[in-house]
Amino acid sequence: MNLQNLTISQIQKDRKANKYSSASLTQAYFTAIEKYNSKLNAYLALCKEQAIVKARASDKRLAPGKLRSQLDGIPIAIKDVICTKGVKTTASSNILKNFIPPYSATVIEKLDQAGAVILGKTNLDAFAHGSSTENSDFGVTKNPWDMGRVPGGSSGGSAVVISAGLATIALGSDTGGSIRHPASLCGITGFKPTYGAVSRYGLIAMASSFDQIGPMASTAQDARILFDTISGKDDKDATSFDLDKPIRQSDKKKNFTIGIPKEFITDDVDPDVKKAIENAITILEKNGAKIKEISLPHAKYALAVYYIIQTTEVASNLARFSGVHFGEARDQFGQEAKRRIMLGTFVSSAGYADKYYQKAQEVRVLVKEDFDRAFKKVDLIVGPVAPSPAFKIGEKTGDPLKMYLSDILTVPVNPAGLPAISIPCGTVERNKKDLPVGLQIIGPQKADYDVLDLAEYFQQITDFHLLKPNLY
């Protein structure tokens, strides 16, 4: 069985045709995990016994036609920053190395009700601070396209298990790019929904006004199915809401007017990445999209805005890990968490708050207004996800600013609360290895289904998403 290109619909078709059961598929994933995880370090914990029980239960529902949903019996991996009742949830931090949550996140409850099979918890930068998964207290996750390189971050583990065929679908979280960035560097599909479209209840908070849980998958169609399952208003998260389900108009997606922000295609973007993006834009244009150049003049301030507001919120959210209620003693915080707590405390402290925090909130509005203006002229915005393909392990760890710059093209989306996706659009060669490049599609708030439509359409007319690293 080729685990790397399995999709939800393929699995359900194969199960109905008695080719394999959810239990045997789940077992096949665990066999592959046993073989590859020691090299990749993508999973931190496995839920083997539970998974097999759930898979068997789903198989029993299949015969009488009683599957609960399209996700019934589908194996999924969960970023280890999302609480799972009774299953250790560490946020990849020593502080929480023994934390077993007494409750599950709303998204996990919804997956349970849908019949999904949780395989295990995946590695990340501790508390989701980072762009390479190197900040994990439990070791770096390796990129399956080149084991000497990072998978991106912070949802590096979830991206790797999809790309390496160690789960069918996965959940990640995105505060400044943490779903889209690793999706781009690992050649998978990663979708950050509109802020509030998915409940954050049970997500260990990083920066609450940016955080969003979202799907990671091999295809945009699978991302859509997972999104449909986890989205919706939740009484436990006051910022959540119900999104209107679209009536699909299949020919509409070809006629989208697409904006290309000139600020996103600069000299800071690797020339090979630029080429892949330009090629993708040409493909879209040839297939009916109208392309327009647009400008987001304040996007260049988004990273500064983000590192002021985000660190302020981080400092506040991490205050609960006092060693009294949760977790180990405070001295167990890693360097990056300490850096952010100090920065956030400083920029929001009396005497400095007006100059930094307040100013950043004002500029945040300008960033959002740029997008509002652009979306009066275009339906969607397209550009690169990351300025470079996967970089080498250790290449940026000595220079936090360099690391922060990895997010320059994903971060503007979060202060504005917009939906955005990363889909594969080609590869570039480095040291004789192919490395994937992601195309970013950004939509107006609540246009999640337009973003998914265009992504799905792109995957109907191209095969980039079928390219996988050579592991097997």
Residues noted as catalytic? 79, 154, 178
Annotate 13-30 with DSSP letters as a single string: HHHHTTS--HHHHHHHHH
* Side chain identity at residue 38, one-letter code: S
Q: Rounded to the nearest whole angstrom, what is the least distance from the CB of residue 153 to ligand GLN in the complex? A: 6
Give the C-alpha separation, 50 to 47, whole Å: 6
Q: How far is CA 20 from CA 16, 28, 90, 164, in A?
A: 9, 10, 34, 20
Contact assessment for residue 440 and residue 420, using Cβ atoms and an 8 Å cutoff: yes
Q: Rule CB under 6 A: which of 285-314 touch ligand GLN?
A: 310
Q: Rounded to the nearest whole angstrom, what is the least distance from the CB of residue 386 to ligand GLN in the complex? A: 10
Rule CB under 6 A: choose which of 73, 177, 259, 387 binds ligand GLN: 177
Give the C-alpha separation, 318 to 447, whole Å: 32
Q: Which is nearer to ligand GLN, 116 or 341 (CB)?
A: 341
Which residue stretch of 48-56, 170-178, 249-257, 281-289 sits at the interface with ligand GLN (rule: CB under 6 A)? Answer: 170-178
Contact assessment for residue 30 and residue 46, using Cβ atoms and an 8 Å cutoff: yes
Q: Rounded to the nearest whole angstrom, what is the least distance from the CB of residue 335 to ligand GLN in the complex? A: 13
Q: Which is nearer to ligand GLN, 37 or 154 (CB)?
A: 154
Rule CB under 6 A: choose which of 21, 90, 123, 178 binds ligand GLN: 178
Q: Rounded to the nearest whole angstrom, what is the least distance from the CB of residue 370 to ligand GLN in the complex? A: 20
- Residue 154 contacts ligand GLN per CB under 6 A: yes
| 82: nearest Cα among 204, 176, 167, 175 | 204
Rule CB under 6 A: choose which of 12, 90, 131, 440 binds ligand GLN: 131
What is the x/- site pattern for ligand GLN, positions 372-411, by CB under 6 A? -----------------------------------x----
Give the C-alpha separation, 145 to 186, whole Å: 7
Q: Which is nearer to ligand GLN, 246 or 394 (CB)?
A: 394
DSSP state of 357: I
Residue 458 tokens read as 């792109």
Pairing of β 257-261 and β 290-294: parallel
Give the C-alpha separation, 164 to 123, whole Å: 14
Residue 146 tokens read as 């080149």
Which residue stretch of 30-38, 169-177, 324-332, 443-451 sits at the interface with ligand GLN (rule: CB under 6 A)? Answer: 169-177
- Residue 176 contacts ligand GLN per CB under 6 A: yes
Which residue stretch of 110-118, 172-180, 353-361, 362-370 sits at the interface with ligand GLN (rule: CB under 6 A)? Answer: 172-180
Q: Rounded to the nearest whole angstrom, what is the least distance from the CB of residue 300 to ligand GLN in the complex? A: 17
Q: Rounded to the nearest whole angstrom, what is the least distance from the CB of residue 454 to ligand GLN in the complex? A: 22
Rule CB under 6 A: choose which of 73, 75, 130, 424 binds ligand GLN: 130
- Residue 129 contacts ligand GLN per CB under 6 A: yes
- Residue 184 contacts ligand GLN per CB under 6 A: no
Contact assessment for residue 175 and residue 83, using Cβ atoms and an 8 Å cutoff: no
Residue 407 tokens read as 């997010």
- Residue 141 contacts ligand GLN per CB under 6 A: no
Instruction: Give the residue nearest to ligand GLN (CB).
Output: 178
Residue 244 tokens read as 């209107």
Contact assessment for residue 445 and residue 417, using Cβ atoms and an 8 Å cutoff: yes
- Residue 206 contacts ligand GLN per CB under 6 A: yes
Give the C-alpha separation, 381 to 70, whole Å: 30
* Side chain identity at residue 389, one-letter code: P
Rule CB under 6 A: choose which of 59, 134, 174, 450 binds ligand GLN: 174
DSSP state of 226: H
Binding site for ligand GLN (CB under 6 A): 128-131, 154, 174-178, 206, 310, 407
